Amino acid sequence: MGKLKIKFHPLFVLYVFLCIYFNWFNKIFYYVITVTLHEYGHYFVAKYFGYQIDSMIFSLSGAGITSNNNFKSKHDILISIAGPLVNLLILLITVCSWWIFPLTYLYTYDFLISNLVVMFFNLIPIYPLDGGRILFAFLSMKNISKSKLMKINKYVCLTFGITMIIFYIVSLFYISNLNLLFIGVFLTINSINCDKNIYFDKIQSLNKKMNKPVEVKVFKVNCENTKELIKYLNPHYYSIFQISVNNKSKTIEEKDLFN
């Protein structure tokens, strides 16, 4: 699998320094810890299913794990729900600690709030948030086109993003709420980039339209384990597997791994 690399976008680093400068260190510290534990939930479940996870990236639009693999729909549901479940577990442990050691309330209240916010925010059914990934994976299993879902997702993200930014501007006349601005910017950016990694549908559409050739790689393997085959998938080419096991041969295409 290799060691997981942790990467920070320069703008994210700048944002952290600004938070420290304006005495928001406690809040940004708890949120970074919360998001990191959330992403490790995704990472360990993805690793369990045999996917290659390259890095964990922190940026202004949030955090996420990167992979050259496209998750199978049934796996994507479990991988996506793992992050919010980690936050839920932390919430339960934190509340229990208040009963056993009441003084911990003073030091863990902000940590509990950050977990609560991250959990519920990620369950919003908008891609690539966890709720959106779960919804997309479920609908994909019902043979609904991801490309159609992405088009709807773009408009939903843009609408909610602009709405949140407007709410932030209005809040400036009362009590400013930076969270509205960050959510609005995140959703607006996401409306532009949300389909960046949906390469499987793109490959299929290219094959249908014949606009340009798609590179195909054929792998000769002696294993039928889908966890192992998934490791060969790459957004830059289409994979075909010629499997030979016990003197029997068969061919599996990349699209067969997503059924």
| Local confidence band at 61 (pLDDT 50, 70, 90 cut-offs) | low
249 - beta bridge partners? 244
Q: Are residues 93 and 177 in the same domain?
A: no
Domain that holds residue 66: 1-141
pLDDT reading at 202 higher than 90: no
Average pLDDT score, the chain = 77
66 - beta bridge partners? 55
- Encode pLDDT of 138-177 as tens digits: 887 777 666 677 777 778 888 888 888 888 888 888 876 7
- Please, what sign has the CA dihedral across residues 223, 226, 231, 236? positive
> Which of 84-98, 204-218, 231-245 has the weakest average pLDDT?
204-218
Residue pair 218/249 in contact (Cβ under 8 Å)? The answer is: no
Q: Are residues 15 and 117 in the same domain?
A: yes
Q: Are residues 130 and 153 in the same domain?
A: no
**Interior/surface letters 209-247, b for 16+ CB within 10 angstroms, e for the rest:** eeeeeeeeeeeeeeeeeeeebbebbbbeebbbbebeeee
> What pLDDT is recorded for position 91?
94
Q: Are residues 121 and 63 in the same domain?
A: yes
Q: Are residues 126 and 227 in the same domain?
A: no
Residue 101 CB contacts under 8 Å (≥ 6 apart), including other chains: none
Q: Are residues 192 and 207 in the same domain?
A: no
Residue at 142: amino acid letter: K
Residue pair 19/197 in contact (Cβ under 8 Å)? The answer is: no
Query: Which of 100, 116, 141 represents a domain boundary (last residue)?
Result: 141
Please state the rounded mean pLDDT for residues 103-125.
87
The domain total for the chain is 3
| Local confidence band at 119 (pLDDT 50, 70, 90 cut-offs) | very high
Query: Which of 141, 169, 184 represents a domain boundary (last residue)?
Result: 141
Q: Are residues 126 and 51 in the same domain?
A: yes
Q: Are residues 109 and 3 in the same domain?
A: yes
Query: Which of 141, 161, 184 represents a domain boundary (last residue)?
Result: 141
> Which of 26-40, 87-101, 220-234 has the weakest average pLDDT?
220-234
Q: Are residues 71 and 99 in the same domain?
A: yes
Q: Are residues 217 and 179 in the same domain?
A: no
Alpha-carbon distance of 17 to 27, in angstroms, equals 13
Helix 146-171 to helix 130-141 angle (10° resolution) is: 160
Q: Are residues 210 and 159 in the same domain?
A: no
Q: In percent, how much of the chain has pLDDT > 90?
A: 12
Q: Are residues 10 and 119 in the same domain?
A: yes
Alpha-carbon distance of 169 to 17, in angstroms, equals 24
